[in-house]
Structure 1
Amino acid sequence: MKMVDEEIKAIVAETLAEQHRLQQESIDAIVSKEVASALVTFGIEDDDRKELRADFQHLRRWRKSVDQAQRYTLKAVITVIATGLMGAVFLGVQVMLGK
């Protein structure tokens, strides 16, 4: 009796695992089809995917270079302001000592 119960459990577990795998494959196929359909509605065909990827990579490089330029610009502005303040303080001290 115990052997039969274990065999039944094994068969049920195997059947459920196979059913889960088949459902997952169906879900994956449906999602892939819908994503492709959505891209087509935006005018992006299957052949355009490589170009689209290259465009996104170019945009990412452009964004990173703009971010870097903004950081350098901010540092330059801070440096100019600090230098100007230090120069003003130096001139003020010279004027005070010269009197």
Structure 2
Amino acid sequence: MNMRDDDIRTIVIETLAEQQKLQKSVDAIVLKAVVSVLAAFGIEDDDRKEVRADLQHLRRWRKGIEQAQSYTFKAVITVIVTGVAGAVLLGIKVMLSK
């Protein structure tokens, strides 16, 4: 059975059209699910800008806390090293004065 080019072209066009319809319906279902989940969390479609701003603020807050923890760790290490060095120097001074 030989198919003509026009028949093949028609089948391909129909298949692509069917696939496009299915993709549109999948997109609609996914969008509806996402909106439903966000609504369950109390986030309405109109609140999108505010939610984005809130998340950006939380990210800045988290990064600031991480930076403060890093500085705190460095300060603690510095205090410990300085204390040990001071104790060693004091010990040497006491031994030399005997």
TM-score (norm 2): 0.86
Q: Which amino acid aligns with 2:89?
A: F
Distance 1:97 1:38 in 2: 75
TM-superposed CA distance for 1:16, in Å, is 2.2
The sequence identity of aligned pairs, in percent, is 57
Distance 2:86 2:62 in 1: 36
TM-superposed CA distance for 1:3, in Å, is 6.7
Structure 1 match to 2:27: 28
Change beyond 3 A, Cα 1:8–1:97? farther
Q: Which amino acid aligns with 1:93?
A: I
TM-superposed CA distance for 1:93, in Å, is 1.2
Q: Which runs of 5+ in 1 are unaligned?
A: none
Aligned length: 98
Which has the larger displacement, 37-46 or 72-81? 37-46
User: Please, what is the CA RMSD of the aligned residues?
Assistant: 1.8
Distance 2:32 2:87 in 1: 68
TM-score (norm 1): 0.85
Q: Which amino acid aligns with 1:17?
A: L
Q: Which runs of 5+ in 2 are unaligned?
A: none
Map residues 1-99 of structure 1 onto 2, 5 A cutoff.
Answer: 4=4, 6-99=5-98
Counterpart secondary structure, 1:43: coil
